[in-house]
């Protein structure tokens, strides 16, 4: 973990509320693993004081990509960055996805901006068959950038499967019955809770979970998640954000 002063290369709008930010940060680009995140200081001013956590979306040479939705003040400020601006970034943080081991098909299931870490994960899954289930409220909010073999679900049925992305995966799962699959899930916690239930005792499944965060590296104790064995808590920033689905209780 280290701090770098990166330079904004570009900021592209992917849809109404989603942006792709590219920064030049060679040291970070070589160090990062898929599923890890960085804490970005979005402003040189004192407000917002706290850094904001963002998954690394992709890396290409010296360039690190972040994909983000505007939520509040911090992300609004980030969406105004211009080419050449400098950004103070702390990373890499967290553990990342485990892509090692014996499986044939990687099933990526993402809801909304939860798909952000998938492009880099896909890059690290070379040689595996990949299916990417992408869910959103409607077709305007779908994010397809950097995805592979996309299966789309929208809550309002405006594109692809009519319903949520977990229901879509369940409707397709029988086609994968004879294959050794590993699921990688990322999205809002209610979606991950539903996926956790589907995966229970049936699938090898890793979930990248969300939490409010402050420090991002285990000091403030601000991001606890209950262990499923009842033996206390993990810290999402340090022990996660990726957990095996049977390790944690998602509230």
Residue 210, contacted partner among ligand FES, ligand FAD, none, CB below 5-8 A by kind: ligand FAD
The phi, psi pair for 120, rounded to 5°, reads -70, -35
| Residues near ligand FAD (CB under 6 A), total | 20
What character string, x for contact with ligand FES (CB under 6 A) and - otherwise, covers 170-209?
A: ----------------------------------------
Helices and strands, counts by H and E, the chain: 6, 17
Does position 80 interact with ligand FAD (CB under 6 A)? The reply is no
CB closer to ligand FAD, 28 vs 181: 28
CB closer to ligand FES, 163 vs 222: 222
What 3-state class would DSSP assign to 167?
helix
Give dist(CA 136, CA 163) in Å, integer.
9
What is the nearest approach in angstroms of ligand FES to the Cβ of residue 100?
25
Q: At what angle do helices 165-172 and 189-199 cross, to 10 degrees?
A: 20
What residues between 216 and 245 interact with ligand FES by CB under 6 A? 216, 218-223, 235, 237
Whether 246 and 228 have beta carbons less than 8 Å apart is answered as yes
Does position 239 interact with ligand FAD (CB under 6 A)? The reply is no
Does position 213 interact with ligand FES (CB under 6 A)? The reply is yes
What is the nearest approach in angstroms of ligand FAD to the Cβ of residue 113?
4
Give dist(CA 106, CA 121) in Å, integer.
10
Does position 90 interact with ligand FAD (CB under 6 A)? The reply is no
What is the 8-class DSSP label of residue 116? T
5 contacts: CB under 8 Å, gap ≥ 6: 86, 87, 88, 89
Instruction: Report the Cα–Cα distance between both ends of the chain, in Å, rounded.
Output: 29
What residues between 133 and 172 interact with ligand FAD by CB under 6 A? none
Q: How many residues does the chain have?
A: 251
Residue ranges in contact with ligand FAD by CB under 6 A: 37, 48, 52-55, 67-69, 71-75, 113, 116, 210-211, 213, 241
Residue ranges in contact with ligand FES by CB under 6 A: 213-216, 218-223, 235, 237
């Amino acid at each position: 973990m280290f701090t770098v002063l990166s330079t904004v290369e570009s900021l592209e709008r992917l849809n109404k509320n989603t942006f792709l930010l590219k920064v030049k940060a060679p040291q970070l680009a070589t160090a990062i693993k898929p599923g890890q995140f960085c804490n970005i200081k979005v402003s040189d001013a004192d407000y917002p004081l706290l850094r904001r956590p963002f998954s690394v979306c992709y890396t290409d040479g010296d360039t690190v990509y972040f994909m983000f939705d505007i939520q509040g003040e911090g992300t609004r400020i980030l969406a105004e960055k211009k080419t050449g601006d400098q950004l103070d970034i702390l990373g890499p943080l967290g553990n990342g996805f485990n892509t090692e081991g014996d499986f044939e098909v990687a099933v990526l299931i993402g809801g909304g901006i939860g798909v952000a870490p998938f492009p880099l994960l896909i890059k690290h899954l070379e040689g595996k068959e990949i299916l990417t289930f992408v869910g959103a409220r409607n077709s305007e909010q779908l994010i397809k950038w950097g995805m592979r073999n996309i299966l789309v679900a929208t809550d309002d049925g405006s594109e692809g499967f009519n319903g949520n992305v977990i229901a879509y995966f369940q409707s397709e799962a029988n086609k994968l019955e004879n294959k050794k699959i590993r699921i990688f899930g990322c999205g809002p916690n209610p979606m991950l809770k539903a996926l956790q239930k589907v995966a229970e005792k049936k699938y090898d499944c890793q979930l990248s979970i969300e939490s409010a965060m402050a420090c991002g590296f285990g000091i403030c104790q601000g991001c606890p998640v209950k262990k499923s064995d009842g033996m206390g808590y993990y810290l999402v920033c340090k022990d996660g954000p990726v957990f095996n689905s049977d390790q944690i209780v998602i509230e």
